[in-house]
Amino acid sequence: MDKTARIFVAGHRGLVGSAVLRHLTAAGYTGLITRTRAELDLTCQAAVSDFFKTERPQYVFLAAAKVGGILANDTAPFDFLRDNVLIQSHVIESAYRCGVHKLLFLGSSCIYPRLCPQPMKEEYLLTGALEPTNEWYAIAKIAGLKLCQALRRQHGFDAISAMPTNLYGPNDNFSLTSSHVLPALVRKFCEAEASGASQVTVWGSGTPRREFLHVDDLASALIFLMEHYSEAAPINVGWGTDVSIAELAVQVKAATGFRGEIVFDATKPDGTPRKLLDVSRLQTLGWRPTIALKAGLQETVAWYRAHRASA
């Protein structure tokens, strides 16, 4: 990508898209194109097609998606399947038809089977049943990466797919009902610390294990992949180690200074027992993350406290 290339960052207000935009801006890219949801409804095919015909982007980071944590996924299956299938189909097809040089599609580590061998290698895709709490989202993301592969195979279109692990950082969704675990815990512990509450409730048993990557690391990996990776196979992006939810809660507690007790709510779902990506392919290409969980948590707690009103 040269520094004046026309680059469309779809989903630039979200956790991932905003980080990609920050990194591209800091690196001196001048041809950045963004649209808010109010300006361009990506679930509307005609609107997406018109946008691509007019703006003629050369590169696309497809970070727009309907995303959410375990409860949101489990309670709105139709929205997660429908919105994501529409958004990605419209953007990927218009990108191909309008001569985009390269498109990067964002997937998720939940595309791998529920009881996948750990760490999860890219080739384990479609080797077993999915986790039921997020299979709707996972099916949509699998369809997206298959669209990219099919367009590459049938028409030689340079579309690649990156599969990130659980992400966190600035501009995350901190809703207590629809967010992922890390921002939810940051908010719960910050609020408990501020109010002097005696307890914080963590959903599930605390035993599931998850891997967390700071979104600034992800953004750097995505730009690296846009420049150095052009293959059909999806590529994992992660930190390479995981923690239990109970360990995560202890770390968030420490980062916020909360002094009370952690209790577990066993009526809430655990989800998949473990989700750790095998990141050896990306590391072999020459990219490694730099933001360890402890430092990333401290930064995220500070960000949340500074942006509490709007977050």
Q: Show which residues are catalytic.
A: 137
Which residue type occupies 90?
Answer: H
- x-marked contacts with ligand GDP along 74-113 as a string, rule CB under 6 A: ------------------------------------x---
Give me the residues paired with residue 229 across strands.
none
What does residue 136 show for φ and ψ, rounded to 5 degrees? Answer: -65, -45
**Which one of the spans 83-91, 252-260, 263-271, 281-289 is the region binding ligand GDP (CB under 6 A)?**
263-271
- x-marked contacts with ligand GDP along 30-69 as a string, rule CB under 6 A: ---------------------------------------x
Distance CA 169, CA 166 (A): 11
**Which one of the spans 15-23, 41-49, 139-147, 266-274 is the region binding ligand GDP (CB under 6 A)?**
266-274
Rg of the chain over CA atoms, in angstroms? 19
Give me the residues paired with residue 10 across strands.
62
Least Å distance, CB 288 to ligand GDP, is 23
Q: Which two tokens stand for residue 18?
A: 């905003």
Least Å distance, CB 166 to ligand GDP, is 6
Q: How far apart are the first and last CA of the chain?
A: 33
Distance CA 308, CA 306 (A): 6
Q: Which two tokens stand for residue 99?
A: 């001569």
- x-marked contacts with ligand GDP along 194-223 as a string, rule CB under 6 A: --------xxx---x-x-------------
- Angle (CA) 83-180-143 rounded to 5° is 35
Binding residue for ligand GDP, selected from 18, 134, 236, 251, defined by CB under 6 A: 134
- Residue 271 interacting with ligand GDP (CB under 6 A): yes
Binding footprint of ligand GDP, residue count (CB under 6 A): 21
Query: How many CA atoms lie within 13 Å of 149's alpha carbon, on the beta-carbon side?
Result: 12
Q: Which two tokens stand for residue 114?
A: 């529920």
Contact by Cβ (8 Å): 70, 134: yes
Least Å distance, CB 188 to ligand GDP, is 6
Query: Please, which residue, 31 or 132, has the CB nearer to ligand GDP?
Result: 132
Contact by Cβ (8 Å): 278, 121: yes
Least Å distance, CB 173 to ligand GDP, is 10
Contact by Cβ (8 Å): 34, 88: no
Q: Which two tokens stand for residue 80?
A: 């997660």
Least Å distance, CB 304 to ligand GDP, is 14
- Residue 140 interacting with ligand GDP (CB under 6 A): no
Distance CA 221, CA 71 (A): 29
Binding residue for ligand GDP, selected from 114, 141, 180, 281, defined by CB under 6 A: 180
Least Å distance, CB 99 to ligand GDP, is 36
Distance CA 159, CA 149 (A): 7
- Residue 17 interacting with ligand GDP (CB under 6 A): no
The residue ranges that bind ligand GDP (CB under 6 A) are 69-70, 110, 134, 166, 179-181, 184-185, 202-204, 208, 210, 245, 268-272
